[in-house]
Structure 1
Amino acid sequence: MNTRDDSGGHSPDSPASGEPSPAKVRREGLLCGIALGVVSVYGVVMLPLRPWLLGQAPAVLAAISGSRTAMVAVGALAAAEGQPWLWPLLAATVSIIKFHWVFWWAGRLWGEAALLKVGGTAPKARRRTARAEALVRRYQVLAMALAYVPLPLPREIIHVALGIAGTRLRTFVLVDLAAAVTTQTLFLGVGALLGDSAVLVVRQYALYAGYISAAVLLAMLVAAFRARRRRSKPGS
């Protein structure tokens, strides 16, 4: 029995030649949205943990977050006390780039809408977004390296812009990895050069790390409570 329809064999959900089907687009959009949600939850959870781990276990913090401050502490502890540095360096290099592909993916899927979602819609946020797009237009994928420079520009916006620009994922990941290896090694080296002086700072900081984490957690709870009250007010 021939089940082929008169439209040339394409069902309503089947794609035109070379185009993804609507079902695939919806599925990828859902998965990307979930991935962005995971990134957001991770960021919130890490806020109170970062100060405590920096004081108590900088190598662990470097491994799970890619923290460059933690890499300085790892380098200092390795130089002054002989603590391990190779596995934290390898883990931190992977960790700092672990979510970058999500923002590239968002840019690839949603285009300019992803920039508004990630960068924000306020005038200041729009200016940052415009600067990120200008960097990508000028330097193409090499703008990835600039994302590791301490600039007043969230690197996530650059990643989204690269996705919009059509940068291939393989190229994106390779350049990102090369930039991460370079910068993490530099921060490790800075810590090693500082040596004992940096270790003294880390040890002193560790005495107060628990209080700092508690203060960050309290600030988060107060902000959440205030936001909930604003939403519950009539007319809000």
Structure 2
Amino acid sequence: MTDERREPDHGEPETLPDSTRVPDPETPDAEPEWWQDPRMPWGHKPTRADMACFWVLTLLGLYSLALLPFRAALLTKPFLAAVLTGSRTGVVMIGALAAVGQAPIWPFWVAVATLSVMKFDLVYFWAGRRWGRGVFEMIAGKSPRARRNAERAERLALKYSIPALFITYLPIPLPAAVIYATLGAARMSWKKFIAFDLLFAAIMQSLYFYLGYRIGAPAVEVVAEYGKYLWYLSIVIIIGMIVTWWWNSQKKKRADHS
């Protein structure tokens, strides 16, 4: 009996069954991997370091969002604000309390607020070093206004570098995260970034403390009065967050159906 089995022709590649064939990413029918989403900051398959940086950024955003309803309450808890956010207003209040003898170890709290206010700068700098301008899309988003502000901050960082880093500590509406990421993408050294960031943070927090110290008792009295209405203000902030979320979701639905 003739054996009808045929050995494969080694001159032609042996094809795989459809169920086991590996999709070619170059073909239009191949389904893209999750990491190929254009909203992702990388242009390659992410490494462990990429994923670690991405999740740290995500947790940072959740942390900031979770604190948002309590920002008003933290004004009456300046020492807690110094630990959690490095709040400039909190440092001003610590200065005012020091002026009336209610902050005996104020140098410690100024140091804590200095480290706290700069703690997330390193994450954005790290992201910029890893992904270059890819992190820009994560920060700027789709809002035309946000993109214009981010582009302005990027140009500022590329042109002025160290002075741009100092500007992030001034009370002006500038996306500081874009500046940190841009400096990272420009391959500024870690030592240089940390040294100048720490220096500028310490200078500005000391000035905020001095401002509060000069104001003194009147600032303490104003915050004490403010504390009486804090509960109502907190409710207004929470309602505002809910309304904003609902409004944005409705705008997105209308955009998707249009």
Compute the TM-score of the two structures, normalised by the length of structure 1: 0.82
Q: Deviations over 1:193-234 (max 9, x none)?
A: 000111111111111122212221222223334445566678
Q: Tell which deviates more after alignment, 128-137 or 195-204.
A: 128-137
Which of the numbers 129, 135, 138 marks the counterpart of 1:114?
A: 135
Equivalent position SS for 2:229: helix
Structure 1 residues 108 and 230 mapped into 2: Cα distance closer, same or farther (>3 Å)?
same
Unaligned 5+ runs, structure 2: 1-42
Q: Deviations over 1:13-52 (max 9, x none)?
A: xxxxxxxxx9995212211110111111111111111211
Q: How many equivalent pairs are there? A: 214
Q: In 1, distance between residues paired with 2:247 and 2:57?
A: 24
Q: In 1, distance between residues paired with 2:161 and 2:252?
A: 42
Runs of 4+, deviation exceeding 4 Å: 22-25, 226-234
Equivalent position SS for 2:228: helix
Q: Tell which deviates more after alignment, 212-221 or 172-181.
A: 212-221
**Shift of the alpha carbon at 1:189?**
0.3
Q: Is the 8 A contact 2:110 2:206 kept in 1?
A: yes
Equivalent position SS for 2:100: helix
Unaligned 5+ runs, structure 1: 1-21
Which residue pairs with 1:32 in the alignment? 53
Which of the numbers 60, 73, 78 marks the counterpart of 1:58?
A: 78
Instruction: Work out which structure has the larger RCO, using CA pairs closer than 8 Å and 6 or more positions apart in sequence.
Output: 1
Which of the numbers 173, 180, 186 marks the counterpart of 1:165?
A: 186
Find out whether 1:93 has 2:114 as its counterpart.
Answer: yes
Q: Is the 8 A contact 1:60 1:88 kept in 2?
A: no
Q: In 2, distance between residues paired with 1:91 and 1:203?
A: 24
**Shift of the alpha carbon at 1:176?**
0.6
Equivalent position SS for 2:191: helix
AA aligned opposite 2:190: L
Which of the numbers 112, 128, 135 marks the counterpart of 2:156?
A: 135
RMSD value over aligned CA atoms? 2.2
Compute the TM-score of the two structures, normalised by the length of structure 2: 0.76
Which residue pairs with 2:18 in the alignment? none
AA aligned opposite 1:235: H
Q: Is the 8 A contact 1:142 1:175 kept in 2?
A: no
Q: Is the 8 A contact 1:72 1:188 kept in 2?
A: yes
Q: In 2, distance between residues paired with 1:160 and 1:213?
A: 33
Q: In 2, distance between residues paired with 1:63 and 1:198?
A: 21
Q: Which structure carries more helix by proportion?
A: 1
Q: In 2, distance between residues paired with 1:24 and 1:170?
A: 29
AA aligned opposite 2:217: D
Which residue pairs with 2:195 in the alignment? 174
Which residue pairs with 1:68 in the alignment? 88
Which residue pairs with 1:217 in the alignment? 238
Equivalent position SS for 1:81: coil
Which residue pairs with 2:205 in the alignment? 184
Q: Tell which deviates more after alignment, 191-200 or 120-129.
A: 120-129
AA aligned opposite 2:95: G
